[in-house]
């Protein structure tokens, strides 16, 4: 429970993406604190080197201080602090504890990927400054000899350490790339959904209708099947808006689209293609069958009561135009035919279904 609290430090009031970065920073800071603390114990108890143990304990406390910055709401400061402590720690490890033969300074390569992972995308200044500092410190360590290390290591141990550092670097790069790939995939899904969905009703939008509807028509033509379109438009919708306001008008669109959706089959494509204009593409459906479905929809719309607070509930009606795809090669043409039928329905006095005839 306490750990959960620590992981959530500083997360309050931030966007979803920022929160996941803050939590990840806290997790990494906690893990680093624990690892650094264990190293201190190791120096103290097993290697009997209280000097190194004390210095390392100082770094352990400094890592933990990242969470204190988070707690005070200094999110960017906490991240910068963490990476700065890490870089100084690496410098001390490589140039004070041991020598660059250990390869400890290769850990500097963790900084750029880590910074790009943990900072917000717009915080380029911080990311670039930390990356530049890590490259500079790496080069400094690489070209500096430590003649009096606090811990003397033989060549075999240095070699082992070197390989473990390379391994950890590789694991970190794979980990960071996996997270980025997942984020890109989730963003792509979200964008595709937004680009194809009508935000008010949650139905397919005009763009999605033409993309998917064209595929449906092509498929139907290939298999010599008939596809029908039912186009519907609310009657006197302007007067609903004028009388009850746009909020109620919107509610009306949502309520009625749910009623119509309840009649649609799974294979039908139901879309909102204009303000108060909707269309249903029905595969494997001929003109008479589509007419029957449209009639059921018309009846259901006219009977559905729109609940409004503080005023008398009301009902609304819609007019329907139906067209079928025999001999029609393009969805645009089919929609024009359904539109002509809809126009006739409006002419006939509205709240009725009309079929397209050439």
Ligand X SMILES: Nc1nc2c(ncn2[C@@H]2O[C@H](COP(=O)(O)OP(=O)(O)OP(=O)(O)O)[C@@H](O)[C@H]2O)c(=O)[nH]1
Using CB under 6 A as the criterion, which residues of the chain lie in contact with ligand X when the complex forms?
200, 233-238, 241, 246, 249-250, 253, 275-276, 346, 350
Phi-psi region at 74: left, alpha or beta (left = phi > 0; alpha = psi -120 to 50): beta
Q: Cβ closer to ligand X: 52 or 256?
A: 256
Q: Please, which residue, 234 or 270, has the CB nearer to ligand X?
A: 234
- Closest by Cα among 356, 355, 318, 320 to 337: 356
* Alpha carbon distance 45, 39 (integer Å): 10
Closest approach of ligand X to the CB of residue 348, in Å: 12
Strand 269-272, strand 277-282: pairing: antiparallel
Written as one string, the DSSP assignment of 230-265 is EEEEETTHHHHHHHH-HHHHHHHHHHHHHHHHHHS-
331 touches 210 (CB < 8 A): yes
Work out the widest C-alpha separation in the chain, in whole angstroms: 99
CB of 278 to ligand X, least distance (A): 11
Residue 293 C-beta: closest distance to ligand X, Å? 21
Question: How far is residue 281's CA from residue 294's CA, in Å, rounded to a whole number?
Answer: 12
Q: Work out how close the CB of 337 gets to ligand X at its nearest, in angstroms, rounded to a whole number.
A: 18
Give the nearer residue to ligand X in terms of CB position, either 67 or 253.
253
Q: How far is Cα 356 from Cα 358, in angstroms, rounded to an integer?
A: 7
Strand-strand pairing, 318-324 and 353-355: parallel
Q: Strand order of the sheet with strand 277-282?
A: 269-272, 277-282, 228-234, 318-324, 353-355
Cβ nearer to ligand X, comparing 304 with 350 = 350
Q: Which is nearer to ligand X, 281 or 345 (CB)?
A: 345
Is there a catalytic annotation at residue 185?
Answer: no
* Least distance CB 308 / ligand X (angstroms): 13
- Identified catalytic residue from 212, 215, 276, 295: 276
The least distance separating ligand X from the CB of residue 253, rounded to whole angstroms, comes to: 6
Residue 235 or 339: the one with the smaller Cβ distance to ligand X is 235
Note whether 199 and 252 are within 8 A (CB): no
Half-sphere exposure of 7 (CA within 13 A, CB side): 10
Q: Which residues are catalytic?
A: 276
């Amino acid at each position: 429970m306490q750990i959960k609290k620590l992981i959530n430090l500083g997360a309050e009031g931030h966007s979803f993406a920022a929160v996941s970065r803050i939590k990840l920073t806290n997790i990494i800071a906690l893990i680093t604190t624990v690892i650094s603390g264990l190293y201190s114990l190791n120096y103290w108890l097993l290697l009997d080197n209280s000097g190194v143990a004390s210095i390392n304990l100082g770094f352990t406390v400094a890592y933990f201080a990242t969470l204190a910055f988070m707690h005070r709401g200094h999110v960017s400061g906490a991240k910068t602090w963490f990476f700065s402590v890490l870089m100084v720690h690496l410098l001390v490890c490589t140039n004070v504890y041991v020598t660059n033969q250990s390869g400890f300074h290769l850990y500097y390569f963790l900084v750029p990927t880590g910074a790009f992972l943990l900072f917000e995308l717009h915080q380029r200044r911080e990311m670039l400054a930390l990356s530049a500092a890590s490259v500079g410190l790496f080069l400094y360590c690489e070209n500096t000899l430590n003649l009096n290390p606090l811990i003397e290591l033989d060549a075999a141990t240095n070699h082992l350490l070197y390989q473990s550092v390379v391994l950890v670097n590789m694991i970190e790069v794979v980990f960071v790339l996996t997270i980025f790939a997942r984020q890109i995939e989730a963003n792509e899904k979200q964008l595709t959904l937004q680009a194809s969905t009508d935000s008010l009703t949650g139905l397919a939008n005009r763009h999605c209708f033409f993309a998917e509807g064209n595929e449906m028509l092509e498929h139907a033509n290939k298999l010599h099947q008939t596809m029908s379109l039912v186009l519907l438009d609310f009657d006197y919708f302007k007067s609903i808006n004028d009388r009850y306001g746009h909020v109620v008008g919107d509610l009306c669109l949502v309520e009625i689209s749910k009623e119509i959706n309840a009649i649609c089959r799974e294979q039908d494509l139901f879309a909102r293609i204009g303000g108060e204009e909707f269309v249903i593409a029905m595969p494997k459906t001929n003109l008479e069958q589509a007419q029957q479905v449209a009639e059921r929809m018309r009846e259901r719309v006219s009977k559905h009561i729109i609940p409004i607070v503080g005023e008398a509930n009301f009902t609304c009606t819609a007019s329907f135009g139906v067209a079928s795809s025999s001999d029609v090669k393009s969805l645009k043409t089919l929609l024009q035919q359904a539109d002509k039928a809809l126009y006739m329905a409006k002419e006939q006095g509205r709240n009725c279904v009309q079929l397209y005839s050439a």
